[in-house]
Amino acid sequence: MNIKVFTVSVIALAAVASVTDTQAATVTGSADATVIQPIAITAVNPLAFGKFVKGATGGTVVLTTAGGRTATGAVVLSTAGAFESAGTFTVTGETDATFTISVPANVTLTEAGTSTTMVITTFSDLNGTTATTTAAGNVTGGTLTGGTQTLYVGGELAVGAAQVPANYTGTYAVTVEYN
């Protein structure tokens, strides 16, 4: 009788081990990576308000994203040797990728060698036609259709009544980043 019990126990143990082996499974996973073109931005044209006379009470010079220029208040626009242009930038990168854009809301221009300033309130768009006032705000994103997109920046330059006649300059950073 002891021999039979031992044989039955060995058979039962083998059956349990067999069931455990049938519960395991293996699969092979895959991995991949794609390196894309880095996003880049290049300045093409400066944001240039041209020449003007401040007038007795000051006012503003508005430069649309299409490059059109108007004045308010006592400011008088000059065409003598004037060059005005919307700021334009070319964004390049991966075709059809979306990206964010950051344009500062204000840009300060300073007279060289002094602390005299003027402030630009910026606005921007991606087609060079729709942003004509500060109410338009700044565009915040775009798509690199065909791997490229143009950004247009306009603005409203505040000209004070006591503004000193001089050349005023400044810089501003435009940042783009893939979504």
Residue-wise pLDDT for 137-170, tens only, equals: 899 999 999 999 999 999 999 999 999 999 999 9
**Spatial CB neighbours of 71, under 8 Å, sequence gap ≥ 6:** 52, 59, 60, 61, 62, 77
Predicted pLDDT of residue 160: 95
Q: Is residue 23 part of a domain?
A: no
Is 35 part of a structural domain of the chain? no
Question: Residue 130's pLDDT is what?
Answer: 79
Q: What is the CATH number of the domain that holds 150?
A: 2.60.40
Residue 4's pLDDT is what? 54
Give the model's pLDDT for residue 20. Answer: 55
Read off the amino acid at residue 19: V
Domain of 121, in residue numbers: 40-178
The pLDDT, as a whole number, for residue 27 is 96
Q: Is residue 32 domain-resident?
A: no
| 170 within a domain of the structure (yes/no) | yes
Rounded mean pLDDT for each run of 10 residues along the chain, 179 residues in total: 50 52 89 96 97 94 94 94 91 97 96 92 91 85 97 96 94 97
pLDDT at residue number 63: 95
Tell me whether residue 26 is in a domain. Answer: no
Residue 101 lies in a domain: yes
Q: Is residue 21 part of a domain?
A: no
Collapsed DSSP state (helix, strand, coil) of residue 142: strand
- DSSP type of residue 37: P
Return the pLDDT at 14: 52
Cα–Cα distance, 138 to 126 (Å, whole number):
10
How many domains is the chain built from?
A: 1
Asked if residue 88 belongs to a domain, the reply is yes
pTM confidence score = 0.82
